[in-house]
Amino acid sequence: MSLTLALYLVLAPRLNKILWRPMLFHPVLGGDEWSDVPEIAGVKGKDVYFQTHDSCKLNGWYYKLPGAKYTILFSHGNAGNLYTRLPSIQALLNAGASVFVYDYRGFGKSEGHKPDIRGICDDGCAAHDYLVEKEAVDPDTIVLYGESLGVGVTTQVSTMRHARGMILQSGFASLPRISREHMPVLWMYPRLLFPDPPLDSLAILKRPHPPLLLVHGVLDTVVPIAHADDLFRHAAEPKQYIRLTTCGHGDIATTNPEEYSSALRQFLGSL
């Protein structure tokens, strides 16, 4: 009995990071050949580095669009790095906003041996602090943007930092829920044995939050649209929701860029 209990605890998502981290994070590191920040939508990006509270140096790109009223703080998903977000950056610039996109620890050119849930949430707060403290961006003009895993990061940041609005794209309701859907064996673990924080966006959105726009592809097989439906149903006002009927999970900015950019422009105009 004691051996069974020990095995149960050793395999728990919260306690065995060596086993579960590779299933959750799929970073792509940046090489020396990635020395130039690409120009996107006619805007030259600024390559920046900033520190987290635990002295981890992160890399980000800052695209300051002339005349833009809002700056979008972009927290990306669990795979790739900055270079795999070029279509999203372009769509956000085309919507009329400046964009600051950054890599979590262990992604791209950011330092850090291995990402974890608490670490990437701290990274999101550090990115917000960089905009306010180093670029003199008014917090009331920052719009938080989360993509997939970054939705959990974004809602977590929204509880600790001020923002004018929040856009959540292709995100899950909570980490325990999506984990159990992909791996039913995880139903044997209570929420207590999942990583902390549990990235429970549903619980966060039930409480007061900045004006919200939810964006999700109806054809998403990674994070079923039922997650977005539930987030919208239970979220406090003010809230908006766009269901993109021709899009899946990672193609929001490329499959239907016109409808996507239009929704972004309308939301930013409503703030």
Count of structural domains within the chain: 1
Residues belonging to the chain: 271
Phi then psi dihedrals of residue 205, to 5 deg: -75, -15
> For the segment 162-175, what is each residue's pLDDT rounded down to a tens digit?
999 999 999 999 99
Could you give the CA distance from residue 66 to residue 97 in angstroms, rounded to a whole number?
9
Q: Which pLDDT score, from 0 to 100, does residue 32 have? A: 62
What CATH number is associated with residue 43?
A: 3.40.50.1820
Structural tokens at position 258? 């016109």
Structural tokens at position 105? 């620890």
Could you give the CA distance from residue 231 to residue 206 in angstroms, rounded to a whole number?
9
For the chain, residues with pLDDT lower than 50 are none
- Domain residues for 125? 2-270
Q: Which pLDDT score, from 0 to 100, does residue 4 have? A: 79
> For the segment 19-66, what is each residue's pLDDT rounded down to a tens digit?
788 888 999 887 666 678 999 999 999 999 999 999 999 999 999 999
Cβ atoms < 10 Å from Cβ of 178: 20
